[in-house]
Amino acid sequence: MLSRGALRAHLLAAGLAGPVATTREASLRSYRLFAARDPRATLGLDPERAWAERDLLALMADRCGVSGDPAHVSGHDVIDPERTLSGLDAFAGRLAAVAERRGTVLFGTGHPHRLLAFYASLADAMSAVGCLVLTPAQGRCVDITTRFGVRTYTLDYVRGVAMMREPGARDPGCETGVHSHSPLPVRVALEAVAESGDPLPELVVGDHGWVCGAGQLGFEAIGLADTDDPALFVGEAEGHVSVAVPLDDAVRSDYYQPLTRYVLNRACLSQ
C-alpha cells in the first residue's frame, strides 16, 4: 500500500503538484476564455452562472491551491498536494462505489500520450471485478475544430480507454493518439450507447471534454484537471462533475503509476 505521505512526496518530486510546468499565463488565459464562454475553455460545459475572471481565480485558488492574487501574472502555477490527495481519495471512492455494484463505466482521454496507461489500469481493474467497460462508436469519425481548422479524427479504444486518432493512424494496441479538449467524442460515444441498447454508463472517467461533456448531459463524471482547465472545477462547483482532481496532466506517463497504485488500493481494486 502506497502511503499518503509517500504519494505526497512523489507528487512534489514529479511535478504533479507543488510548482508545476503549467504557466500562470496559460492559466489566466484559460480563465479569460472561460469567462467569455469560449468553447475552447468550457469543454462542453454550459455554466449555470456567470463566472468572471476574478470568480474563476478565487475558485481555482480554493480547489487547486493556485495563488489567488490577481497581480500574480507570470511564472509557474502551483497546486497544493493536499488538494490533489483529497481529490484522489474522492476519485477512488466513486470508482469503489460503482465497482461494488458491478456498474457500467466509460473511460476516455484527451491526453493519450500521458494518461492512457493511468486510465487503462483502472479500466482493467473495473473489468476484473465484473464491471462493464463500454467501447461504443469505435471507428466513428468525429469532426473537431482545432486551431488549424476543422480536422476529422477517428474514435478508437486501447485497453478500454477511448481516444481520438488521426485517420489511418491506428495499429492494434498502439497508444498514439491526438490531444483533444473537445466534448464531441463523448457525445458521439454516449449517443452510440443509447442507440445500441446497451446499459448507459453509471460513471464516465477521463479528462477535458470527456468529463465536462458527460457531466453536462447528466452522467456522473470524474477526472483529472490542470490549473488551466477551469471547466472541470466549475462543473464540480455547480454539481455537474462529481470529482475533479487537481494535478499537472502533462508530465511523463510513468509518473502517474504511483497514483494508479494509490487509487486502486483506496478503491479496493488491487489484484
Could you report the per-residue pLDDT of 142-163, keeping only the tens digit for each? 999 887 788 899 999 999 999 9
pLDDT of residue 68: 97
Could you report the per-residue pLDDT of 148-204, keeping only the tens digit for each? 788 899 999 999 999 999 876 655 445 578 999 999 999 999 999 999 999 999 999
Whether the predicted pLDDT of 89 surpasses 90: yes
72 alpha carbon, distance to own chain's centre: 26
CA distance 203 to 49: 25
Closest CA to 187 of 162, 224, 169, 151: 162
Cβ partners under 8 Å of residue 195, min gap 6: none
CB atoms within 10 A of CB 100: 12
pLDDT of residue 175: 56
DSSP string, 116-138: HHHHHHHHHHHHHTT-EE--TTT
Pairing of strands 161-165, 104-108: parallel
Pairing of strands 141-146, 132-133: unpaired
Which phi and psi angles does 19 have, rounded to 5°?
-65, 125
Could you report the per-residue pLDDT of 107-127, keeping only the tens digit for each? 999 999 999 999 999 999 999
Mean pLDDT of 203-208: 98
Whether the predicted pLDDT of 96 surpasses 70: yes
pLDDT of residue 171: 57
Cβ partners under 8 Å of residue 194, min gap 6: 200
Name the helix (H) or strand (E) containing 248.
none
pLDDT of residue 244: 98
Closest CA to 70 of 81, 61, 83, 80: 61
Quick one: pLDDT band at residue 130, thresholds 50, 70, 90? very high
pLDDT of residue 1: 76
Q: Which domains does the chain have, with CATH numbers?
A: 1-270 (3.40.50.10490)
By percentage, how much of the chain surpasses pLDDT 70?
97
